[in-house]
Amino acid sequence: MTEDNEAFLEAYLSARKGLIDSALNKYMPAEDAYPPEIFKAVRYSLFAGGKRLRPILCLAAAEAVGGDIETVLPIACALELIHTYSLIHDDLPAIDNDDYRRGMPTSHKVFGEGVAILAGDALLTAAFHLLSRQDLMAGLDPRTLLAVINDIAEAAGYSGMIGGQVVDMQSEGKVPDYETLHYIHSRKTGVMILVAVKSGARLAGATEEEIDALSEYGRNIGLAFQIADDLLNIDGDPILMGKVTGSDKTRGKMTFPALIGVVDSHNKAYQLLDMALAGIACLDSKADPLRLIASYVLERRS
Ligand code: GRG
């Protein structure tokens, strides 16, 4: 990436993150709402410094087809609520048993396991509550919104993120094979990234051709994102990542480096980047932020 593109992307990501953070702050109940323990736990994880990649992608996809990002903002925020829930539950003792995330103690370490489980549940429910708020959705076509809610529910559920997580857990300690690994990565992580891009495009009134192009982009960067995550778990800086590295190997997780090695995993991720960019070659310069985000997904250090 050139220095100019790097500077543009940094400013772009920071501005979008600011927009998303203030919308989330507005949509979520105050920390001292009753009962305070649950609202504190929800806000603790929601405002713990996440990159906001999924909502940013949702807004950038809308922008790429000439849409209005303010209209799509609540849907983008709902995706972040689902993402935050998945991280809280992923860190639980029964799943990955992680003590730190983003440099801070995980939810169950601060609030106890019971409240952490409920905070995750509350965030998932809050996402669909937000998606069905008539006051915020007034500018959207109801049929399109319903189709988007359906896509998001499918992506987060047993055929998507949960399915991927289940197979991920069941595959620990097993000899990796491509088919299983592709299933895990494309569902556990990829599908929420894909649905973020697709939802933004659909809500912004994209044509079927544009939706197909952006889906191709989303599918490829979704998988590339998880391969980059596998690589960061090996050679990432624990300080920048805010969590321990090396855990995938200790747990015998099925990952791309475990299947094909570090160098080929790196090459595979860049191949996917090329495919993502080729997918949106038909879009004009309004898709440039998406092009830069695709490189960022692979070059990020946290
Ligand atoms: C329902 C019991 C129960 C568990 C759900 C679904 C699930 C657990 C976990 C799957 C989600 C998951 C943690 C996938 C890994 C993907 C990943 C690399 C997450 C980190 O995403 P970033 O880097 O995080 O975007 P930030 O911190 O920036 O928000």
Atom of ligand 1 nearest to the CA of 85: 5
Note if the pTM is more than 0.75. yes
Q: From atom 2 of ligand 1, which residue's Cα is the shortest distance away?
A: 89
The verdict on whether omega for the bond into residue 35 sits within 30 degrees of 0, i.e. cis, is yes
Say what the pLDDT of residue 105 is: 98
Give the total residue count for the chain: 302
Mean pLDDT in consecutive groups of 10 residues from the start of the chain, 302 residues: 92 98 96 93 97 98 97 98 98 96 97 98 98 94 97 98 98 96 97 98 97 98 96 94 92 95 97 98 98 95 88
Say what the pLDDT of residue 31 is: 84
Domain of 66?
3-299
CB 226 within 8 A of CB 185: yes
Q: From atom 3 of ligand 1, which residue's Cα is the shortest distance away?
A: 89
Say what the pLDDT of residue 40 is: 96
The whole-angstrom separation of Cα 81 and Cα 207 is 28
CB 66 within 8 A of CB 182: no
Say what the pLDDT of residue 93 is: 98
Q: Give the rounded distance of the alpha carbon of 102 from its chain centre.
A: 15
Q: CATH no. for residue 273?
A: 1.10.600.10
Could you tell me the distance, in angstroms and rounded to a whole number, from the CA of residue 4 to the centre of ligand 1?
A: 31
Atom of ligand 1 nearest to the CA of 229: 18
| Beta carbons within 10 angstroms of residue 251's beta carbon | 14
Q: Number of folded domains in the chain?
A: 1
CB 19 within 8 A of CB 73: yes
Question: What are the strands, taking DSSP E only, across the chain?
Answer: 100-101, 104-105
Sign of the C-alpha dihedral, residues 18, 20, 24, 27? Answer: positive
Of 58, 80, 87, best ligand 1 pocket probe by most atoms within 8 Å of the beta carbon: 87
Of 44, 90, 152, best ligand 1 pocket probe by most atoms within 8 Å of the beta carbon: 90
Say what the pLDDT of residue 32 is: 86
Say what the pLDDT of residue 104 is: 96
